[in-house]
């Protein structure tokens, strides 16, 4: 299923999807998101009208799940076909998995458990951000 919503920030859905803050349209952001079982084509069709394209790399619903690296082909598809879009990845992101997401083309990430459970959350956030920024600077 492809989710498409326009709502004021912050708003958290019972599915575990969190909406990103607005990027350019005041207090609202238009975004679409897909679960692991959804074909990327459903989101790709909407991408030109979205501010954020979200690829879930775990099944939504609870934290601490293992990162699904096979979802990176969806991120790569979105980055290749919609180079100006924001591509967000949510699920299982940590210092061990961030490089895969950034290399595939994600420029926005959501990391829950890796940050919350870290002894130094600030250091983990910095590390995740630096990896994404390094890949963005090469594009």
Question: Is residue 130 scored above 50 in pLDDT?
Answer: yes
CA of 13: how far to CAs of 5, 61, 74, in Å?
A: 11, 10, 23
In sequence order, what E strands does the chain have? 2-8, 28-34, 52-56, 86-90, 108-110
**What is the pTM (predicted TM-score) of this model?**
0.79
Average pLDDT over residues 110-117: 91
For position 139, what pLDDT does the model report?
A: 67
């Amino acid at each position: 299923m492809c989710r498409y919503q326009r709502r004021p920030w912050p708003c958290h859905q019972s599915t575990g999807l969190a909406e990103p803050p607005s990027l350019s349209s005041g207090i609202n952001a238009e975004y679409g998101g897909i679960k692991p079982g959804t074909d990327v084509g459903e989101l790709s069709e909407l991408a030109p009208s979205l501010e954020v394209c979200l690829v879930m790399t775990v099944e939504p619903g609870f934290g601490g799940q293992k990162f699904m690296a096979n979802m990176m082909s969806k991120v790569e598809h979105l980055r290749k076909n919609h180079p100006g879009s924001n591509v967000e990845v949510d699920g299982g992101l940590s210092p061990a998995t961030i490089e895969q997401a950034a290399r595939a083309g994600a420029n926005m990430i959501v990391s829950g458990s890796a940050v919350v459970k870290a002894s130094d959350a600030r250091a983990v956030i910095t590390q995740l951000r630096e990896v994404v920024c390094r890949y963005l600077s090469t594009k």
